[in-house]
Structure 1
Amino acid sequence: MAPTLRPLVTEASPSRTSGTVLVWQYLMLVWRRSALSTVIAGIVTPLLYLLALGFGLGTLVNSGPGAASLGGVSYVKYLAPALVTAAALQAGVGEAAYPVYSRFKWSRVFWGISSTPVSTAQITNGQLLFLATRLAIGSALYYVVVLVFGAAGGWAGLLVIPIAVLTGASCAVWVMALAGRMRREGTAFNVVFRFVVVPMTLFSGSFFPIERMPGAIRWLAYISPLWHGNELARAAMLGTGSGLAVLGHLVFLVVLGGAGLVTARHAFSTRLIV
Structure 2
Amino acid sequence: MGASMALRAFRYWLLRYRRTWRGTVVISVANPLLFLIAIGAGLGQVVAPDTDALGGVSYLAFFAPGMLAAASMQNGLVESAFPVSFSSRPGGTYPVAAATPLEPSDLLHGHAIFMAIRVTMSAAAFLAVMVALGAAQSTLVLLALPAATLTAMAFALPAAAWAVTLSDVEPVGRVFKWVVMPLYLFSGTFFAVTQLPEVLRPIVYVTPLWHGVDLCRSLSLGTATWAGSLGHVAYLTAMVAVGYLLARRNYRRHLHA
Instruction: Classify the TM-score, shorter chain.
Output: over 0.9
Tell whether 2:198 aligns with 1:211.
no
SS of 2:136's equivalent? coil
Closer, same or farther in 2 for the Cα pair 1:233/1:186, shift >3 Å? closer
The letter for the 1-side match of 2:42 is: G
Shifted more, 218-227 versus 50-59: the winner is 50-59
> Any idea what the Cα deviations from partners look like across 1:37-95, whole Å, max 9, x if unmatched?
545665533442123211222122226xx723211210000111111111111111122
Q: Identity of counterpart residues, as a percentage? A: 33
Q: Which residue of 2 aligns with 1:75?
A: 59
Tell whether 2:242 aligns with 1:259.
yes
Q: Which residue of 1 aligns with 2:163?
A: 179
Whole-angstrom distance in 2 between the partners of 1:148 and 1:172: 28
Q: What TM-score does the superposition give when structure 1 sets the normalisation length? A: 0.87
Aligned length: 257
Q: Would the aligned equivalents of 1:205 and 1:227 in 2 still touch at CA under 8 Å? A: yes
Q: Which has the larger radius of gyration?
A: 1
Tell whether 2:18 aligns with 1:32.
yes
Whole-angstrom distance in 1 between the partners of 2:183 and 2:12: 32
What is the alpha-carbon root mean square deviation over aligned residues?
2.0
Whole-angstrom distance in 2 between the partners of 1:106 and 1:118: 17
After superposition, residues 1-274 of structure 1 pair within 5 angstroms as 14=1, 18-39=4-25, 44-62=30-48, 67-105=51-89, 107-182=91-166, 184-185=167-168, 187-273=170-256
Q: What TM-score does the superposition give when structure 2 sets the normalisation length? A: 0.92
Task: Give the gaps of 5 or more residues in structure 2.
Answer: none
Closer, same or farther in 2 for the Cα pair 1:91/1:47, shift >3 Å? closer
Higher relative contact order (CA 8 A, sep 6+): 2
Task: Give the gaps of 5 or more residues in structure 1.
Answer: 1-13
Shifted more, 147-156 versus 164-173: the winner is 147-156
The letter for the 1-side match of 2:145 is: I
Whole-angstrom distance in 2 between the partners of 1:132 and 1:38: 15
Structure 1 residue 192: deviation in Å? 1.4
The letter for the 1-side match of 2:83 is: P
